[in-house]
Amino acid sequence: MSSRLTSRPEFAILIRASPVNERGLVARFPRITGWGKYLPERVLTNQELEQKVYTSDSWITSRTGISGRRIAASTETASTLALEASRAALRTSGLDPAALDLIIVATCTPEYIFPACASVLQDLLGARRAAAFDINGACTGFIHALATGCQFISAGTYRNVLIAGSEIYSRILDWQDRNTCVLFGDGAGAVVLGAADSPSCALSIVLGNDGSGTDIIYTPGPCGINDGRYFLTMRGPEVFKFAVKVICQATRDVVAQAGLQMSDIDLIIPHQANTRIIKTASRTLGVPMEKFFVNVDRYGNTSAASIPIALCEAVEEGKIKDGDNLVLVGFGGGLSWGAVTVKWAGD
Protein backbone atom coordinates (compact mmCIF):
# COMPACT_ATOMS: atom_id res chain seq x y z
CA MET A 1 0.00 0.00 0.00
CA SER A 2 1.45 3.35 -1.02
CA SER A 3 1.10 6.22 1.42
CA ARG A 4 1.19 10.01 1.23
CA LEU A 5 1.03 10.60 4.98
CA THR A 6 4.30 12.49 4.98
CA SER A 7 2.91 15.06 2.53
CA ARG A 8 1.25 18.32 3.50
CA PRO A 9 -2.55 18.41 3.90
CA GLU A 10 -4.28 18.89 0.58
CA PHE A 11 -6.56 21.71 1.71
CA ALA A 12 -5.87 24.63 3.98
CA ILE A 13 -7.60 28.00 4.18
CA LEU A 14 -7.49 31.11 6.28
CA ILE A 15 -10.97 32.50 6.88
CA ARG A 16 -11.26 36.13 5.87
CA ALA A 17 -14.80 37.35 5.27
CA SER A 18 -15.13 40.15 2.75
CA PRO A 19 -17.88 42.80 3.17
CA VAL A 20 -19.82 41.73 0.07
CA ASN A 21 -19.38 38.60 -2.00
CA GLU A 22 -19.80 38.23 -5.76
CA ARG A 23 -23.53 37.50 -5.38
CA GLY A 24 -24.13 40.67 -3.41
CA LEU A 25 -24.58 38.78 -0.11
CA VAL A 26 -23.00 40.27 2.99
CA ALA A 27 -20.26 37.93 4.19
CA ARG A 28 -19.88 37.21 7.90
CA PHE A 29 -17.53 35.54 10.32
CA PRO A 30 -18.69 32.20 11.79
CA ARG A 31 -19.13 32.07 15.55
CA ILE A 32 -20.09 29.22 17.87
CA THR A 33 -23.20 30.47 19.65
CA GLY A 34 -24.49 27.23 21.16
CA TRP A 35 -23.28 23.80 22.20
CA GLY A 36 -24.85 20.65 23.60
CA LYS A 37 -24.30 16.94 24.07
CA TYR A 38 -26.22 13.76 24.73
CA LEU A 39 -24.98 10.43 26.09
CA PRO A 40 -27.19 7.33 26.36
CA GLU A 41 -27.99 6.26 29.91
CA ARG A 42 -26.49 2.78 29.79
CA VAL A 43 -22.86 2.53 30.87
CA LEU A 44 -20.89 -0.51 29.72
CA THR A 45 -17.91 -0.99 32.02
CA ASN A 46 -14.69 -2.86 31.41
CA GLN A 47 -15.75 -5.32 34.08
CA GLU A 48 -18.87 -6.17 32.07
CA LEU A 49 -16.77 -6.61 28.94
CA GLU A 50 -14.66 -9.15 30.82
CA GLN A 51 -17.77 -11.34 30.81
CA LYS A 52 -18.38 -10.90 27.07
CA VAL A 53 -14.95 -11.26 25.49
CA TYR A 54 -11.45 -12.44 26.43
CA THR A 55 -10.09 -9.23 27.95
CA SER A 56 -9.58 -7.52 31.29
CA ASP A 57 -10.01 -4.11 32.83
CA SER A 58 -6.24 -3.74 33.23
CA TRP A 59 -5.62 -4.71 29.58
CA ILE A 60 -8.14 -2.14 28.32
CA THR A 61 -7.09 0.73 30.57
CA SER A 62 -3.36 0.23 30.04
CA ARG A 63 -3.71 0.25 26.24
CA THR A 64 -6.53 2.73 25.73
CA GLY A 65 -7.26 4.62 28.94
CA ILE A 66 -10.94 3.71 28.60
CA SER A 67 -12.87 2.60 31.69
CA GLY A 68 -16.43 2.84 30.36
CA ARG A 69 -18.55 3.73 27.38
CA ARG A 70 -22.24 4.53 26.72
CA ILE A 71 -24.49 2.18 24.76
CA ALA A 72 -27.64 3.40 23.02
CA ALA A 73 -31.00 1.88 23.93
CA SER A 74 -32.75 -0.26 21.34
CA THR A 75 -35.19 2.59 20.67
CA GLU A 76 -32.44 5.14 20.03
CA THR A 77 -30.90 6.03 16.66
CA ALA A 78 -28.28 8.46 15.41
CA SER A 79 -31.11 10.89 14.67
CA THR A 80 -32.64 10.73 18.15
CA LEU A 81 -29.23 11.11 19.80
CA ALA A 82 -28.54 14.10 17.55
CA LEU A 83 -31.96 15.52 18.43
CA GLU A 84 -31.16 15.69 22.15
CA ALA A 85 -27.71 17.21 21.58
CA SER A 86 -29.15 19.71 19.08
CA ARG A 87 -31.93 20.79 21.42
CA ALA A 88 -29.31 21.45 24.10
CA ALA A 89 -27.19 23.47 21.64
CA LEU A 90 -30.20 25.51 20.52
CA ARG A 91 -31.11 26.24 24.14
CA THR A 92 -27.59 27.49 24.80
CA SER A 93 -27.70 29.71 21.73
CA GLY A 94 -31.21 30.98 22.44
CA LEU A 95 -32.12 30.20 18.83
CA ASP A 96 -35.46 28.82 17.71
CA PRO A 97 -35.23 25.85 15.30
CA ALA A 98 -37.32 27.84 12.84
CA ALA A 99 -34.39 30.26 12.44
CA LEU A 100 -31.98 27.56 11.23
CA ASP A 101 -30.85 27.88 7.62
CA LEU A 102 -28.88 24.63 7.42
CA ILE A 103 -28.43 21.38 9.35
CA ILE A 104 -25.37 19.18 8.83
CA VAL A 105 -25.02 15.84 10.62
CA ALA A 106 -21.68 14.05 10.72
CA THR A 107 -22.31 10.32 11.09
CA CYS A 108 -21.33 6.99 9.63
CA THR A 109 -23.96 5.05 11.61
CA PRO A 110 -27.27 6.48 10.32
CA GLU A 111 -30.48 4.49 10.58
CA TYR A 112 -31.07 4.78 6.83
CA ILE A 113 -28.85 4.61 3.76
CA PHE A 114 -31.17 7.40 2.70
CA PRO A 115 -32.77 9.75 3.57
CA ALA A 116 -30.03 11.58 5.44
CA CYS A 117 -29.91 11.58 9.20
CA ALA A 118 -30.00 15.39 8.92
CA SER A 119 -33.33 15.16 7.09
CA VAL A 120 -34.83 13.15 9.95
CA LEU A 121 -33.34 15.58 12.47
CA GLN A 122 -34.77 18.56 10.59
CA ASP A 123 -38.27 17.13 10.92
CA LEU A 124 -37.83 16.17 14.57
CA LEU A 125 -36.64 19.68 15.40
CA GLY A 126 -39.35 21.38 13.36
CA ALA A 127 -36.71 23.36 11.46
CA ARG A 128 -38.93 23.72 8.40
CA ARG A 129 -36.87 26.20 6.42
CA ALA A 130 -33.47 24.55 6.92
CA ALA A 131 -31.61 22.66 4.23
CA ALA A 132 -30.19 19.38 5.53
CA PHE A 133 -27.51 16.86 4.58
CA ASP A 134 -25.08 14.37 6.11
CA ILE A 135 -21.30 14.14 6.00
CA ASN A 136 -19.61 10.75 6.41
CA GLY A 137 -16.06 11.47 7.45
CA ALA A 138 -15.88 8.73 10.09
CA CYS A 139 -14.07 10.11 13.15
CA THR A 140 -13.05 13.27 11.26
CA GLY A 141 -16.67 13.93 10.34
CA PHE A 142 -17.37 16.71 12.83
CA ILE A 143 -14.35 18.67 11.60
CA HIS A 144 -15.56 18.21 7.99
CA ALA A 145 -19.05 19.38 8.96
CA LEU A 146 -17.77 22.34 10.98
CA ALA A 147 -15.52 23.41 8.11
CA THR A 148 -18.45 23.17 5.70
CA GLY A 149 -20.78 25.17 7.94
CA CYS A 150 -18.14 27.87 8.39
CA GLN A 151 -17.85 28.25 4.62
CA PHE A 152 -21.59 28.77 4.19
CA ILE A 153 -21.49 31.54 6.79
CA SER A 154 -18.27 33.22 5.65
CA ALA A 155 -19.61 33.22 2.07
CA GLY A 156 -22.71 35.06 3.26
CA THR A 157 -25.03 32.27 2.12
CA TYR A 158 -26.48 31.38 5.55
CA ARG A 159 -26.57 32.95 9.01
CA ASN A 160 -27.56 30.08 11.35
CA VAL A 161 -26.15 26.58 10.92
CA LEU A 162 -26.55 23.55 13.18
CA ILE A 163 -23.67 21.05 13.17
CA ALA A 164 -24.18 17.69 14.90
CA GLY A 165 -21.97 14.64 15.29
CA SER A 166 -23.91 11.51 16.23
CA GLU A 167 -22.85 7.87 16.28
CA ILE A 168 -24.10 4.45 17.40
CA TYR A 169 -21.00 2.34 16.88
CA SER A 170 -22.32 -0.38 19.19
CA ARG A 171 -24.35 -1.66 16.22
CA ILE A 172 -21.38 -2.12 13.88
CA LEU A 173 -19.05 -3.84 16.35
CA ASP A 174 -18.15 -7.50 16.50
CA TRP A 175 -18.56 -8.09 20.22
CA GLN A 176 -16.21 -11.08 20.03
CA ASP A 177 -13.35 -8.95 18.69
CA ARG A 178 -11.54 -7.53 21.71
CA ASN A 179 -9.36 -5.34 19.48
CA THR A 180 -12.35 -3.21 18.48
CA CYS A 181 -15.36 -3.75 20.75
CA VAL A 182 -13.61 -2.31 23.81
CA LEU A 183 -12.78 0.96 22.06
CA PHE A 184 -16.07 2.50 20.95
CA GLY A 185 -19.18 4.03 22.46
CA ASP A 186 -22.34 5.88 21.45
CA GLY A 187 -23.22 9.55 21.81
CA ALA A 188 -23.90 12.87 20.14
CA GLY A 189 -22.69 16.45 20.31
CA ALA A 190 -23.77 19.59 18.49
CA VAL A 191 -22.91 23.24 17.99
CA VAL A 192 -24.81 26.16 16.52
CA LEU A 193 -22.89 28.51 14.23
CA GLY A 194 -24.02 32.08 13.87
CA ALA A 195 -22.81 34.99 11.75
CA ALA A 196 -20.69 37.68 13.40
CA ASP A 197 -19.44 40.99 12.02
CA SER A 198 -15.89 40.48 13.34
CA PRO A 199 -13.58 37.45 13.67
CA SER A 200 -14.82 35.41 16.59
CA CYS A 201 -14.79 31.72 15.78
CA ALA A 202 -12.99 29.69 13.14
CA LEU A 203 -9.72 31.37 12.20
CA SER A 204 -8.25 28.65 9.98
CA ILE A 205 -9.09 25.19 8.70
CA VAL A 206 -6.84 22.35 7.51
CA LEU A 207 -8.21 19.17 5.91
CA GLY A 208 -6.38 16.18 4.48
CA ASN A 209 -6.93 12.65 3.24
CA ASP A 210 -4.88 9.60 2.22
CA GLY A 211 -7.13 7.26 0.26
CA SER A 212 -4.40 4.64 0.01
CA GLY A 213 -5.18 3.77 3.65
CA THR A 214 -8.82 2.83 3.23
CA ASP A 215 -8.13 -0.76 4.30
CA ILE A 216 -6.59 0.25 7.64
CA ILE A 217 -9.92 1.05 9.30
CA TYR A 218 -13.29 0.53 7.62
CA THR A 219 -16.77 -0.95 7.84
CA PRO A 220 -18.21 -2.82 4.82
CA GLY A 221 -21.56 -1.71 3.46
CA PRO A 222 -24.48 -3.60 1.90
CA CYS A 223 -23.77 -2.18 -1.57
CA GLY A 224 -20.19 -3.41 -1.76
CA ILE A 225 -18.57 -6.77 -2.38
CA ASN A 226 -18.62 -8.43 1.04
CA ASP A 227 -19.73 -11.44 3.06
CA GLY A 228 -22.70 -9.72 4.66
CA ARG A 229 -20.86 -9.00 7.93
CA TYR A 230 -20.98 -5.26 8.45
CA PHE A 231 -18.55 -5.01 11.35
CA LEU A 232 -15.86 -2.41 11.90
CA THR A 233 -12.39 -3.70 10.98
CA MET A 234 -9.20 -2.02 12.14
CA ARG A 235 -5.46 -2.59 12.06
CA GLY A 236 -4.67 -1.00 15.41
CA PRO A 237 -0.88 -0.44 15.25
CA GLU A 238 -1.15 1.27 11.86
CA VAL A 239 -4.00 3.47 13.05
CA PHE A 240 -1.91 4.48 16.07
CA LYS A 241 1.06 5.57 13.94
CA PHE A 242 -1.19 7.42 11.50
CA ALA A 243 -3.11 9.16 14.28
CA VAL A 244 -0.04 10.51 16.07
CA LYS A 245 1.48 11.73 12.80
CA VAL A 246 -1.59 13.60 11.58
CA ILE A 247 -2.61 15.07 14.95
CA CYS A 248 0.79 16.72 15.14
CA GLN A 249 0.92 17.69 11.47
CA ALA A 250 -2.61 19.12 11.32
CA THR A 251 -2.20 20.99 14.62
CA ARG A 252 1.03 22.65 13.53
CA ASP A 253 -0.40 23.53 10.13
CA VAL A 254 -3.69 24.97 11.33
CA VAL A 255 -1.96 27.07 14.01
CA ALA A 256 0.46 28.46 11.42
CA GLN A 257 -2.44 29.15 9.01
CA ALA A 258 -4.08 31.27 11.71
CA GLY A 259 -0.89 33.28 12.18
CA LEU A 260 -0.44 31.92 15.70
CA GLN A 261 2.31 30.15 17.62
CA MET A 262 1.82 26.94 19.56
CA SER A 263 2.35 28.98 22.72
CA ASP A 264 -0.75 31.01 21.80
CA ILE A 265 -3.00 27.94 22.02
CA ASP A 266 -4.87 27.64 25.30
CA LEU A 267 -6.54 24.25 24.76
CA ILE A 268 -6.39 21.42 22.23
CA ILE A 269 -9.50 19.26 21.89
CA PRO A 270 -8.50 16.15 19.92
CA HIS A 271 -10.63 13.30 18.67
CA GLN A 272 -11.04 11.01 21.67
CA ALA A 273 -9.76 7.64 20.46
CA ASN A 274 -7.05 6.55 22.86
CA THR A 275 -5.15 8.27 25.69
CA ARG A 276 -1.85 6.81 24.48
CA ILE A 277 -2.34 8.54 21.11
CA ILE A 278 -3.01 11.87 22.83
CA LYS A 279 -0.07 11.53 25.22
CA THR A 280 2.29 10.65 22.39
CA ALA A 281 1.06 13.64 20.38
CA SER A 282 1.56 15.83 23.44
CA ARG A 283 5.22 14.77 23.72
CA THR A 284 5.83 15.12 19.99
CA LEU A 285 4.33 18.62 19.85
CA GLY A 286 6.05 19.69 23.05
CA VAL A 287 2.67 20.75 24.46
CA PRO A 288 1.89 19.69 28.06
CA MET A 289 -1.01 17.32 28.63
CA GLU A 290 -2.66 20.05 30.69
CA LYS A 291 -3.45 21.77 27.40
CA PHE A 292 -5.20 18.69 25.99
CA PHE A 293 -8.80 17.98 26.97
CA VAL A 294 -9.39 14.27 27.53
CA ASN A 295 -12.64 12.43 28.33
CA VAL A 296 -12.11 9.18 26.40
CA ASP A 297 -11.86 7.37 29.74
CA ARG A 298 -15.59 7.95 30.32
CA TYR A 299 -17.06 7.47 26.86
CA GLY A 300 -14.60 5.60 24.66
CA ASN A 301 -14.31 6.55 21.00
CA THR A 302 -17.61 8.11 19.89
CA SER A 303 -16.28 8.87 16.39
CA ALA A 304 -17.81 12.04 14.88
CA ALA A 305 -19.46 12.83 18.23
CA SER A 306 -16.25 12.85 20.28
CA ILE A 307 -15.00 16.39 19.58
CA PRO A 308 -18.33 18.20 20.15
CA ILE A 309 -18.96 16.15 23.31
CA ALA A 310 -15.48 17.06 24.56
CA LEU A 311 -16.01 20.72 23.66
CA CYS A 312 -19.22 20.80 25.69
CA GLU A 313 -17.56 19.21 28.69
CA ALA A 314 -14.56 21.55 28.48
CA VAL A 315 -16.98 24.50 28.66
CA GLU A 316 -18.93 22.89 31.52
CA GLU A 317 -15.74 22.26 33.49
CA GLY A 318 -14.52 25.85 33.06
CA LYS A 319 -11.57 24.83 30.89
CA ILE A 320 -12.47 27.43 28.24
CA LYS A 321 -12.84 31.16 28.78
CA ASP A 322 -13.72 34.05 26.51
CA GLY A 323 -10.87 34.92 24.13
CA ASP A 324 -9.11 31.55 24.38
CA ASN A 325 -7.49 30.10 21.28
CA LEU A 326 -8.56 26.48 20.70
CA VAL A 327 -7.53 23.76 18.28
CA LEU A 328 -10.09 21.09 17.41
CA VAL A 329 -8.32 18.22 15.63
CA GLY A 330 -9.65 14.93 14.31
CA PHE A 331 -8.51 11.85 12.40
CA GLY A 332 -10.21 8.74 11.14
CA GLY A 333 -11.13 6.45 8.30
CA GLY A 334 -10.38 7.68 4.84
CA LEU A 335 -7.68 7.92 6.00
CA SER A 336 -8.73 11.45 6.87
CA TRP A 337 -7.70 14.25 9.17
CA GLY A 338 -8.63 17.84 9.87
CA ALA A 339 -8.21 20.70 12.31
CA VAL A 340 -9.83 24.05 13.06
CA THR A 341 -8.54 26.92 15.17
CA VAL A 342 -11.20 28.73 17.17
CA LYS A 343 -11.11 32.05 18.99
CA TRP A 344 -13.66 31.33 21.69
CA ALA A 345 -16.40 33.89 22.12
CA GLY A 346 -19.14 31.67 23.40
CA ASP A 347 -20.34 33.85 26.26
Q: Is the pLDDT of residue 13 over 80?
A: no
Mean pLDDT to the nearest integer, 239-261: 96
**Confidence at residue 227, expressed as pLDDT on a 0 to 100 scale:** 79
CA dist 79 and 185 (Å) reads: 16
Domain covering 29-196, topology: Peroxisomal Thiolase; Chain A, domain 1 (3.40.47)
Q: Is the pLDDT of residue 141 over 70?
A: yes
Mean pLDDT to the nearest integer, 264-292: 97
Average pLDDT, the chain: 91
Span of 52-56, 86-90, 329-333 with lowest mean pLDDT: 52-56
DSSP state of 24: S
Mean pLDDT to the nearest integer, 282-305: 97
- Percentage of the chain beyond pLDDT 90 is 84
Q: Looking at the annotation, which residues are catalytic? A: 139, 271, 301
Instruction: List the beta bridge partners of residue 208.
Output: 337
**Confidence at residue 192, expressed as pLDDT on a 0 to 100 scale:** 97
Mean pLDDT to the nearest integer, 172-188: 96
Among the listed residues 296, 343, 295, 293, the one whose alpha carbon sits nearest the alpha carbon of residue 322? 343
Residue 329: Cβ within 10 Å count: 27
**Confidence at residue 12, expressed as pLDDT on a 0 to 100 scale:** 43
| CATH for 201-343, options being 3.40.47.10, 3.30.230.70, 3.40.225.10, 3.40.640.10 | 3.40.47.10
Mean pLDDT to the nearest integer, 63-76: 97
Q: Is the pLDDT of residue 139 over 80?
A: yes
Dihedral angle computed from the Cα positions of residues 106, 111, 114 and 117, in that order, rounded to the nearest 10 degrees:
-40
Yes or no: say if 300 and 214 are a contact pair by the CB < 8 Å rule: no
Judge residue 33's burial from the number of C-beta atoms within 10 Å of its C-beta, 0-12 exposed, 13-18 middle, 19 or more buried: buried
Mean pLDDT to the nearest integer, 337-347: 87
CA atoms 301, 224, 239, 210: torsion sign: negative
- Percentage of the chain beyond pLDDT 70 is 90
Q: Is the pLDDT of residue 295 over 80?
A: yes
In the chain, residues under CATH classification 3.40.47.10 are 29-196, 201-343
What's the Cα-to-Cα distance from 124 to each of 35, 79, 105, 193, 270, rounded to whole Å? 18, 9, 13, 19, 30
Strands (E) in the chain, as ranges, are 11-14, 29-38, 42-45, 68-71, 102-106, 131-135, 161-168, 186-196, 202-209, 217-218, 233-234, 267-270, 325-332, 336-343
| Chain-centre distance for alpha carbon 13 | 19
Residue 300: Cβ within 10 Å count: 31
Q: Is the pLDDT of residue 16 over 90?
A: no
Question: If residue 159 lies in a helix (H) or strand (E), which one and from where to where?
Answer: none
In the structure, what pLDDT confidence band is assigned to residue 6 with cuts at 50, 70 and 90?
very low
Q: At what angle do helices 78-93 and 117-125 cross, to 10 degrees?
A: 50
